[in-house]
Amino acid sequence: MPRHMIDPPSGWRYGFPKAYDRATDGDDFMDWLVREGYPQTEIDRMGEHFHVRQWEEPSDDEPGFQRGVPVNPR
């Protein structure tokens, strides 16, 4: 099952990107960010314009996935 990766603004400072799973991490996305170490002050500072980068990444147990192997080797 693919992992849903989240990267908030300046997330690298706080250990992001990280995988978010609504089933295990809960429905309150902003609460999850804070629990994972993202400062509430950063969220508050951006107000309604808080955007995150997000993407799906294959998990290690998916068939055909090999970590460290280029997708298009030459």
User: What pTM did the predictor assign?
Assistant: 0.74
State pLDDT tens for residues 39-57.
999 999 998 899 999 999 8
Residue reference for tokens 């089933």: 23
Tell me how far apart the alpha carbons of residues 16 and 37 are, in angstroms, rounded to a whole number.
9
Under DSSP, the state recorded for 49 is G
Element (H, E) at 3: strand 3-7
pLDDT band at residue 69 under the 50/70/90 scheme: low
Straight-line distance from the first to the last Cα atom of the chain, in angstroms, rounded to the nearest whole number: 28
